[in-house]
Amino acid sequence: ERNFARRDRAIELARKLGKSPIHVALAYVLAQPFPSVPLIGPRTLDELEDSLKALDVKLTPEDLAWLDEGAERRRA
């Protein structure tokens, strides 16, 4: 249930940022304080190119906290 709530917050954040939920999900993984490699499974070149757009998404510490715990969101 916690992961479903996080997914819902990621969808909401994506809408507010004008990005797709996959961009937010990949940006979240890349923003973690430990080394990580997001695994993606594009089926087409278009999907791969779209996923790479996540590299341009910069989540704030408040965004990350809100995604993790549902803390009060501060980004307008």
Residue-range domain boundaries for the chain: 2-69
Buried b (16+ CB within 10 A) or exposed e, 21-40: ebbbbbbbeebeeeeeeeee
If you average pLDDT over residues 66-70, what whole number do you get? 86
Per-residue model confidence (pLDDT) at position 35: 93
Band (pLDDT 50/70/90 cuts) for residue 16 is: very high
Greater confidence, 74 or 28?
Answer: 28
* Six-digit token string for 34: 């430990």
